[in-house]
A and B are shown apart, each in its own frame.
Chain A
């Protein structure tokens, strides 16, 4: 992104405005990065050092003990097995929820653009509407429904909720992307004798790379970071990472272990960070493609 800014300024900007712009950018970057920096160095200090030292000073004798503790032995509520089990819960929730909502979203997008039926506009408008329903408004009805279908207090229930809630967004993404996909290709495949799913798998999906990445990142971050659904529809050992982190920090047995809390928070943030680092470039590119064509 910085390259983009530089490129667009190169023409008109004088040296002074260049300095001002870069100065501002550096200041803002520092503001955003400081908390992360503090978290990281705190998680590498011993408790004594935290108590004695300056919050911003580098660790004198770096240690990974807080990380190991956060992962495997820290106490959350009454059990002292660290956050690893909850990390696993989150993975088991996120992976199926992202996969299912992405696949369904692309199928919806396919039907809404290339296999139109009477009333497709209304259906799409309703799905879009789902994007704007606030979480809080649906908590109690959702809890009732989950209870009725026997998915209350389970990972399966969370998966269902995230899939349903994400469907509006994933459908919107894929619909806008497929709107620009040449219809003649679909028609050619129909004449070639390909059926609905063959066209989807052989013609459309291979061209969907950028929008799949956008959708996966979007869904992954949203579902991984969700706290409200996790705390409402799961409990005990079944809660996702975000809720466990909250419980860890709030567990009051003896001294407050800031270094362990920070390490746990870092671990909780790692997967989304990783996804951004690996696929962030495609995220911007995919969004642009959708914006320009759709």
Chain B
């Protein structure tokens, strides 16, 4: 049985339905990342789990126990807030100890626990400072310390890294991941940053407008997105989503992508699509990630189906470790990821290798994945 279960959760603010029936579960020790654009209801869902907001319908269970009517303090959870929410009038040590103090833990015990957590997070030297005397990264650490010190059943994180600069964000991300691996705690983590979601999660839930779009492992969500929204949202640069037409050439089922200044591209159907799944003449959207379009040398040798297509290079964007090469199809930019030393210039015609084993098809009407 799952450790954290959410069944048919609905949350309304007046007439506005912010969460539209969420079903989710998470095993003990799992790391669930809720990801979605801002305003989609992530914080609301987290507040519902924490008990900070009442819910309009559904059930929340922790370790088999329905907690709907339990106050936040009785749910045995800890939460790290986006703004860190450190008490400004207290020192770091008092901030960390406040929860224990409220629960009546004696002072000597509190002091020992604070010392221990401060050592884990390498901030023993900060204990007597006030939040206003700390840098952003240090405040973040204190907020984590306050959550860690209590050893709760579930940790909730609401965009804990979004106020940090890029470098610190990457460092703290690694640290949170290590922390999860060493403590084995159950974590629900909210972010709008899909890279954070991919790197941290054991399970990702993609949310849009208060409805779940897909729940799965990072690899599932990334490689086999359930619909166009997920395909577009996850990954950076995002997946190429190109309108195509199902056609047969010489008895071979494939996809035709028109081009403005060239003959249409013909690609055979991805191997994971059953032959009967698409009708001849049907409009489709083919999704293919930049890293699945490469120079021929860089293509995956184990892939059962790689198509080589000659195309005109419009733009070249070196990005350090890789070079992004832009061409055109179906009236849109197509981004390919090539090696950084690939000798490519705008205006050249070069061969592009499409790894169709990694391509997915979507129905443009329902926006759902086919097959």
Bound complex: CA A191 to CA B47 (Å): 10
Are B85 and A188 within 8 A (Cβ)?
A: yes
Q: B98 — which chain A residues lie within 8 A by C-beta?
A: 189, 192, 194, 202
Residues of B close to A190: CB separation below 8 A: 52, 71-73
Check if B85 sits within 8 Å of A182, measured CB to CB.
Answer: yes
Tell me the interface secondary structure of chain A in the complex: helix
A187 to B52, CA, bound (A): 7
Report the nearest A residue to B147, measured CB to CB: A191
Highest count of chain A CB atoms <10 Å: which of B72, B89, B102, B103: B102
Q: Is the CB of B102 within 8 A of A192?
A: yes
Q: Let me know if A203 is at the binding interface, CB within 8 A.
A: yes
Provide the bound-state CA to CA distance between A188 and B239, in Å. 39
Task: From A184, A185, A198, A207, give the contact of B102 (CB < 8 A).
Answer: A198
* Docked CA distance A194–B83 (Å): 19
Q: How far is the CA of A179 from the CA of B52 in the complex (A)?
A: 18
> Does B48 count as interface, using CB distance less than 8 angstroms?
no
Q: Does B99 contact A (CB under 8 A)?
A: yes
Q: Which residues of B contact A (CB under 8 A)?
A: 47, 50, 52, 71-73, 77-79, 81-83, 85, 87-89, 98-99, 102-103, 146
CB of B89 within 8 A of CB of A187, answer no
What are the 5 tightest A-B residue pairs by CB atom distance, in nearest-first order? Answer: A193-B73, A206-B89, A192-B99, A193-B102, A188-B85
Shortest C-beta distance, A214 to chain B (Å), equals 19
Known: A193-B102, A198-B102. Contact between A188 and B89, CB under 8 A?
no
CB atoms of A193 and B99 under 8 A apart = yes
Interface size, chain A (Cβ < 8 Å): 16
Assess whether B78 is in contact with A191, with CB atoms less than 8 Å apart: yes
Q: Which residue on A lies nearest to B75, using beta carbons?
A: A191
Inside 8 A of B88's CB, which chain A residues have their CB? 185, 206-207
Report chain B residues within 8 Å CB of A206.
88-89
Contact partners of A182 in chain B: CB under 8 A: 83, 85
For B50, the chain A residues whose CB sits under 8 A away are 187, 191
What does the 1/0 interface line of A218-244 toward B look like (CB < 8 Å)?
000000000000000000000000000
Interface string of A170-192 (1 = CB under 8 A from B): 00000000000010110111111
Q: Closest A residue to B84 by CB, please name it.
A: A184
Which residues of the other chain, B, contact A194 by a CB distance below 8 angstroms? 73, 98, 102
How many Å lie between the Cα of A216 and that of B330 in the bound state?
71
Pairs A–B under 8 Å by Cβ, sample size 23: A182-B85, A184-B82, A185-B88, A187-B52, A187-B79, A187-B81, A187-B85, A188-B81, A188-B87, A188-B146, A190-B52, A190-B73, A191-B52, A191-B73, A191-B77, A191-B78, A192-B99, A193-B102, A194-B98, A194-B102, A202-B98, A203-B87, A206-B88
